[in-house]
């Protein structure tokens, strides 16, 4: 198991400074999703040369289900480019959040199909189109189920798994403890059912603060992750309470101790 932190949570004005800070607090990975992705790939590679920090994942597009076909096309092209960039950087995967919001962007065409049905079918078609690039790069593309207050299409692990299984082995899912504690009846059971489809994990506490600042017990979920053979990144994605450096160090230590104890 390795820990990662999101780019926008990591102190530093440059990628090199962020990497140095992460090394200083003992975190092994960074999730690139902001201004770092505007840099030339060669510059990004140099920022990680000789360092103990790696690229945990790279963000894909969030516009695949936009009502504007041109936006959808740009989102597909961006996701392809991010898969290739992830391969160049040796990243652990590309994160795909296909839809934000609590209602479909596409129109309701009942009785042909509702907006939600259209968006789900469109997402499956898009993922099938992306699958050859996923296979050629060897970089996992994974969906993140979000809670019902942030999205409506993929809320639970079983929904993400069902879509992934319609596409093929190239597509995985993320298990995010904050979203799971809202949506799943039982986190360990949901993790076991998703099994090897889980290729990335986020940890945040019940109040979306860092682990240790809420009431979530991570041990049963961590034990389930171990049962399915997961040994990848645990990405800390949350708001931070307290003096930043100390709070991140303390939370990272807690996550590691809890993982070992699970």
CATH of the domain at 217: 3.20.20.150
Q: Could you tell me the residue range of the domain that residue 70 belongs to?
A: 2-261
Phi, psi of 99 (to 5 degrees): -160, 135
Residue % of the chain over a pLDDT of 90: 90
User: In the numeric block, which tokens belong to residue 171?
Assistant: 């597509």
Q: What is the pTM of this model?
A: 0.94
Residue 29: exposed, middle, or buried by beta-carbon count in 10 A (0-12, 13-18, 19+)?
buried
**Structural domains counted in the chain:** 1
What pLDDT band is residue 21 in, cutting at 50, 70 and 90? Answer: very high
Q: Is-contact 143 171, C-beta < 8 A? A: yes
Helix, coil or strand: residue 106: coil
Residue 107's pLDDT is 80
Q: Which helix (H) or strand (E) holds 115?
A: helix 115-137
In terms of pLDDT, which residue wins out, 98 or 205? 205
Phi, psi of 36 (to 5 degrees): -60, -30
Residue 111's pLDDT is 85
Distance CA(262)–CA(220), nearest Å, equals 7
């Amino acid at each position: 198991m390795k820990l990662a932190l999101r780019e926008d949570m990591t102190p530093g004005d440059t990628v090199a400074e962020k990497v140095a800070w992460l090394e200083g607090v003992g975190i092994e990975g960074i999730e690139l999703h902001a201004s770092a992705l505007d840099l030339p790939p060669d510059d990004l590679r140099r920022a990680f040369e000789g360092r103990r920090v790696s690229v945990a994942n790279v963000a894909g597009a969030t516009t695949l289900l936009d009502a504007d076909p041109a936006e959808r096309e740009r989102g597909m092209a961006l996701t392809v480019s991010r898969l290739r960039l992830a391969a160049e950087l040796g990243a652990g995967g590309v994160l795909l959040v296909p839809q934000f919001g609590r209602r479909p962007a596409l129109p309701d065409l009942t009785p042909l199909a509702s907006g939600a049905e259209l968006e789900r079918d469109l997402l499956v078609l898009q993922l099938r189109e992306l699958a050859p690039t996923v296979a050629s790069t060897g970089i996992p593309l994974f969906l993140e189920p979000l809670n019902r207050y942030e999205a409506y299409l993929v809320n639970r692990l079983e929904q993400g798994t069902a879509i992934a299984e319609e596409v093929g082995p190239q597509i995985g899912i993320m298990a995010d403890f904050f979203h799971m504690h809202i949506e799943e009846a039982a986190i360990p059971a949901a993790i076991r059912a998703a099994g090897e489809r889980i290729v990335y994990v986020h940890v945040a506490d019940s109040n979306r603060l860092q682990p240790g600042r809420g009431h979530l017990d991570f041990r049963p979920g961590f034990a389930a992750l171990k049962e399915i053979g997961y040994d990848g990144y645990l990405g800390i994605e949350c708001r931070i309470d307290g003096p930043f450096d100390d709070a991140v160090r303390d939370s990272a230590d807690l996550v590691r101790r809890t993982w070992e104890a699970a």
